[in-house]
């Protein structure tokens, strides 16, 4: 009897680069110590088996392709539809990542319930839970339609045959790390298993005509576990963020071939599932302290939506040899840069102080327009001066201390006015480009020193 052909290869855990030998640094992504050894056997071919079951396709002329502009299906959850770009697109492959216990399965069960109630055929595939466990969680969400099917299986060949034979409209794979491809001898969750399994599911989504959502575990750095090529293969990448011990949840789109990226949806976890938060600005600002120093409202654009949030700072004299610096929800390097600008350009000596900066509400902000809010919050805490509760500040700060122009300034000001704020500090260039807005005072500033005087 002929022996099974096997070969040993090395994969990069970050980008999926393949090599015949171990390398210290990956030539694909430049990361160090990311190569893992895996054994691949060539005696079976799951991809070939699936190809024989799929309908054959022929090349089509571009002018003969019918594009239905309204081919999206609503999930009946406005926040999720916003992040997806208007709803679920047929034949798409969606990746949903998030920390354990954050609510990924709960969100998808609610989506399955809404789609099944629209007479859509839904298949929920779980490799982590039993039928009874899923049923217990589903009972908290209400009554499900008869077209909702559960399937507990980890063998990808069996899952693929069920998808081909039953042709469901919507499929959930929970999770991709539990799917086993017989063509790969590596352990569950390995680089090659995840990559090959995702490739097969992508073919099923495109050729069978179903929408597939795969759930991905995340690493301690907060990214989806497995090779980075996994995110390149799918059509949409969603991240479910938030503190598992708090009630808020933030759904963020970081890749979307059918809509804009960086859109966010805000949810609140209740006993009966996830509830949409239609006005996240009001939700993020709830519970603000009165007459407290180091607290200011700022505005960040998440996609096309302005969100007002509270920036908190605590500056105190250090009791250590080296001052401690901590940032939550904002890049720590950005905080250090703003402290250096305040010290050099505004003569605010904070080099001997500990600094703690927090974005209340759990949002992770990368937009530089929040710089001015952070700088004023640190100044307020350092000088022990309370900031007017009806004041909003936003703007990007440069190394020379200048406050630079930000986009969509009018939308930010209108959002602040809607929530009852009376003053806005923003870059002078942005203030000059605004139309006249009654009911709110516009204060344009050129640099950090002018912004401090405006307080």
Query: Which residues have C-beta within 8 Å of that of residue 329, sequence separation ≥ 6?
Result: 358, 359, 362, 363, 364, 365
* Residues 299-317: tens digit of each pLDDT: 999 877 899 999 999 999 9
The structure tokens listed for 227 are 């090779």
| Torsion sign across C-alpha atoms 186, 190, 192, 194 | positive
The answer to whether 29 touches 17, Cβ cutoff 8 Å, is: yes
> Do 167 and 208 meet the contact criterion of CB atoms below 8 Å apart?
yes
All CATH 3.30.230.10 domain ranges in the chain, comma separated: 283-454
pLDDT at 1: 43
Angstrom distance (rounded) from CA 255 to CA 103: 20
- The answer to the question of whether 442 is labelled as a binding residue is no
Interval 106-163: pLDDT, tens: 999 999 999 999 989 999 999 888 999 998 888 888 888 777 899 999 999 999 999 9
Task: Record the tokens describing residue 270, joined without a space.
Answer: 């209740």
Q: Tokens 């509830």 correspond to what residue?
A: 275
Tell me what pLDDT residue 168 has: 93
Beta bridge partners of 309: 298
103 is in an annotated binding site: yes
**Which tokens in the block code for residue 409?**
């300034």
> Is residue 329 marked as binding?
no
Burial call 279-293: b when 16+ CB within 10 Å, e when fewer: ebbebbbeeeeeeeb
pLDDT of res. 51: 56
Query: How do residues 369-408 score in pLDDT, each as one tens digit?
Result: 999 999 999 999 999 999 999 999 999 999 999 999 999 9
Q: What is the pLDDT of residue 2?
A: 46
Q: Annotation-wise, does 55 bind a ligand? A: no
Block residue for tokens 């700088």: 375
Q: What is the pLDDT of residue 224?
A: 63
- What's the CATH fold of domain 46-50+75-278? Rossmann fold (3.40.50)
Q: Rounded to an integer, what distance in angstroms lies between the CA atom of residue 293 and that of residue 314?
A: 8
Give the integer Cα–Cα distance in Å for 326 and 314.
10
With vertex at residue 218, the alpha carbon angle to CA 212 and CA 223, rounded to the nearest 5 degrees, is 95
Check whether 99 is labelled as a binding-site residue: yes
Domain 283-454: which CATH class?
alpha beta
Q: Check residue 277 and report its DSSP letter.
A: -
The three-class DSSP label of residue 378 is: helix
What does the DSSP 8-state code read for residue 244?
T
Tell me what pLDDT residue 259 has.
83
Mean pLDDT of the chain: 86
Strands 295-302 and 423-427: unpaired
Q: Considering only residues 2 and 102, tell me which one the structure prediction assigns the higher pLDDT.
A: 102
Half-sphere exposure of 166 (CA within 13 A, CB side): 20
Q: Which whole number is the average pLDDT over 267-293?
A: 86
304 marked as binding residue: no
Give residue 192's pLDDT. Answer: 77
State the average pLDDT over residues 92-102: 89
User: In terms of DSSP H, where are the helices of 187-305?
Assistant: 191-204, 229-233, 280-284
Q: List, in sequence order, every beta strand (DSSP E) within 291-345.
A: 295-302, 305-317, 325-328
Q: Which of 407, 397, 94 is nearest to 251 (CA)?
A: 94
Q: Which two tokens stand for residue 240?
A: 């479910």
Residue 303: alpha-carbon gap to chain centroid: 12
**Order of all β-strands in the sheet with 122-126:** 148-152, 122-126, 170-174, 211-216, 93-98, 236-241, 248-256, 264-270, 273-276
Residues of the chain with CATH 3.40.50.300: 46-50+75-278
Digit-coded pLDDT (tens) for 180-231: 888 777 777 777 788 888 989 999 998 888 999 999 877 655 566 555 667 8
Helix boundaries (H) for 269-346 = 280-284, 332-345
Query: At which residue do the structure tokens 């949806």 appear?
Result: 265
Residue 199 assigned ligand-binding role: no
306 in a known ligand binding site: no
Could you read off the pLDDT of 400-427 as tens digits, one per residue? 999 999 999 999 999 999 999 999 999 9
Q: CA torsion sign, 326 to 332 to 336 to 341?
A: negative
Averaged pLDDT, 254-268: 85
Contacts of 74 (CB under 8 A, 6+ apart): 81, 87, 88
Question: Would you state the pLDDT for residue 220?
Answer: 58
Alpha helices in 117-228 (DSSP H): 131-139, 156-166, 191-204
Task: Locate 108 and state its tokens.
Answer: 């998808």
The verdict on whether omega for the bond into residue 175 sits within 30 degrees of 0, i.e. cis, is: yes
């Amino acid at each position: 009897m002929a022996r099974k052909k096997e070969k040993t290869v090395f994969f990069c855990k970050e980008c999926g680069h393949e090599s015949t030998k171990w390398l210290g640094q990956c030539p694909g992504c430049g990361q160090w110590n990311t190569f893992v050894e895996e054994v691949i056997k060539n005696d079976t071919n799951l991809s070939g088996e699936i190809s024989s079951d799929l309908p054959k396709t022929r090349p089509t002329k571009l002018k003969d392709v019918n594009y239905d502009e309204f081919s999206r299906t609503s999930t009946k959850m406005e926040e999720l539809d916003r992040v997806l770009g208007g709803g679920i697109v047929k034949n798409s492959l969606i990746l949903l990542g998030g920390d354990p216990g954050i609510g990924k399965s709960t969100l998808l069960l609610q989506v399955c319930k809404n789609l099944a109630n629209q007479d859509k055929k839904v298949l929920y595939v779980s490799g982590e839970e039993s039928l009874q466990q899923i049923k217990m969680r589903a009972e908290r969400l209400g009554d499900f339609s008869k077209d909702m099917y559960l399937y507990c299986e980890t063998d990808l060949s069996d899952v693929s045959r069920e998808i081909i034979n039953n042709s469901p409209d919507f499929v959930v794979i929970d999770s991709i790390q539990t799917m086993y491809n017989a063509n790969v001898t590596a352990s569950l969750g390995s680089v090659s298993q995840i990559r090959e399994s995702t490739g097969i599911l992508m073919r099923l989504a495109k050729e069978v005509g179903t929408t597939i959502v795969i759930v991905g575990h995340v690493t301690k750095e907060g990214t989806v576990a497995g090779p980075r090529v996994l995110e390149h293969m799918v059509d949409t990448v969603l991240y479910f963020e938030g503190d598992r011990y708090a009630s808020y949840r933030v759904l963020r789109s970081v890749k979307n071939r059918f809509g804009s990226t960086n859109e966010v949806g805000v949810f609140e976890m209740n006993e009966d599932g996830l509830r949409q938060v239609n006005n996240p600005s009001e939700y993020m600002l709830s519970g603000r302290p009165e007459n407290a120093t180091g607290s200011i409202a700022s505005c960040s654009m998440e996609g096309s939506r302005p969100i007002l949030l509270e920036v908190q700072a605590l500056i105190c004299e250090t009791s250590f040899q080296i001052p401690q610096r901590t940032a939550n929800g904002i890049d720590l390097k950005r905080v250090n840069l703003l402290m250096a600008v305040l010290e050099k350009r505004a003569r605010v000596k904070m080099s001997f102080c500990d600094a703690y900066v927090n974005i209340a509400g759990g949002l992770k902000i990368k937009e530089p327009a929040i710089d001015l809010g952070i700088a004023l919050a640190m100044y307020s805490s350092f000088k022990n001066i309370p900031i007017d509760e009806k004041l909003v500040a936003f703007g990007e700060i440069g190394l020379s201390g200048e406050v630079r122009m930000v986009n969509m300034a009018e939308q930010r000001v209108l959002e602040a006015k809607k929530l009852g704020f009376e003053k806005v500090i923003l870059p002078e260039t942005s203030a000059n480009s605004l139309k006249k807005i009654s009911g709110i005072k516009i204060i344009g500033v050129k640099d950090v020193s002018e912004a401090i005087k405006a307080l």
